[in-house]
Every structure is written in C-alpha cells, then in structure tokens.
Amino acid sequence: MRHRVAGRRLSRKSEHRLAMRRNLAASLIEHETISTTIEKAKEVKPFVEKLITLAKKGTLASRRRAISLLGNRDIVEYDNGKAVKKGTVVGKLFSEIGSRYIDRPGGYTRIIRLSLRRLGDNGQLVLLQLVSEDERQKKGAAARTKRSLKKAKKAARAEETVDAQEAVGEQEAADQQKISSAHMASKDEHPSESEEALQTEGETKNSVEQDE
C-alpha cells in the first residue's frame, strides 16, 4: 500500500523521474512555455514555483540551493549554424524571472489544456507557462474595475434606501396631518361634554337671574 507517499510515479524509476522533472523545469525557465502531458505538468508546476520563490530571495544560499535542485545547464542559441552560449538556466532564473515576480505572493505558472492528443497513447496535452507581467496588470485592472463597480452599486443601493425612508417619513407625516385635521373637524361639529356642561350651566344661571 502507498500510504502517505506523495508524488506521481509516471511509469518511471526515481532517477528517471528526477531527471525528467529537472529537464522540464529547465526548459520552462528557458523558453517560458512548454507543451507536455497533464500529469507531467502537474508534477513539475510546484517544483518550478519553489525555484522561483528561491530566486526571489536572491541570496547566495538560495542560488546554491537552486543549483543543487535544478542543475545549471547552459542556454544555447544557434547563430549561422554555430552554437552560441547565451547564459545559464539558474542565471536567467535569478536575474530575470525572480525580479519579475518580486511583488507576487505566488501562482507564477499556469496550465492551459489543449484540444490536441498525443499520438500513440492519446495522452491529454497541455501548455505549462509562466504567467506574464502584462496579464498580472490586466488582472489587477479588472479587479480594481470590479471593486469600483461594487462600490458604485452599494452607494446606489444606500441612496435608494435613504430616499425610500424619506418618502415613507413624508407619507407618515401627511397621514398624521390628515388624521389631526379630521379630528379637529369632528371636534368642531360635535362639542365635548365639558363644553356642553359649561353651556348648560350658563343657560341655567341666565334663567335664574331672569326669574329673580
């Protein structure tokens, strides 16, 4: 049983898996995008992100650690049929890629599924890429726009609530005024008992004075 055993076997021995992971990671750092199968991409992705985290530190110890994990193969380009060395994989990792993601807390790579299948075993092909800075800026702009829209909607809802409360208050005041007007009108038409008693007492006094 493979309890608590992390990682994929990928039908290879441990030495073959380590070599394959190093080669794929070095190719991704060199070309910044590679095409592979979904299983290999998922296996290489966390390894590359750990290397980029080391590159962000930029210390000598982190550089030595990256070399021990990845190796330091040369980046070679062909010019007029001649191989020309353009640098090393670890040099590009620390000089270009590490400084590119200095303000990014994680998520340096992404996997894009392709509609293509590999000939032979019909394996699912994907693109494993480094996230570009332009995409990060676009994503940040989209997030800021989304936040501003949310704030505008919230302010509009608050304003509508205040208007509705004011309308309800005005309606209640108008209803209260109508009720008080109706009460005063009914009071004028039908005098109260105290007023009737005073009027009766006045009439009685007048009649007594007349009798005397």
pLDDT tens for the chain, 212 residues: list them: 889 888 899 999 999 999 999 999 999 999 999 999 999 999 999 999 999 999 999 999 999 999 999 999 999 999 888 999 999 999 999 999 999 999 999 999 999 999 989 998 999 999 999 998 766 556 666 667 788 888 888 888 888 887 777 787 787 777 777 777 776 666 555 555 555 555 666 666 656 556 55
pTM of the model: 0.64
Mean pLDDT of the chain: 85
For residue 126, the SS3 value is strand
Contacts of 70 (CB under 8 A, 6+ apart): 22, 25, 26, 51, 89, 90, 93
Give the pLDDT confidence of 151-167 residue by residue, as tens digits: 888 888 888 887 777 78
Instruction: Check residue 132 and give its pLDDT.
Output: 87
For residue 4, the SS3 value is coil
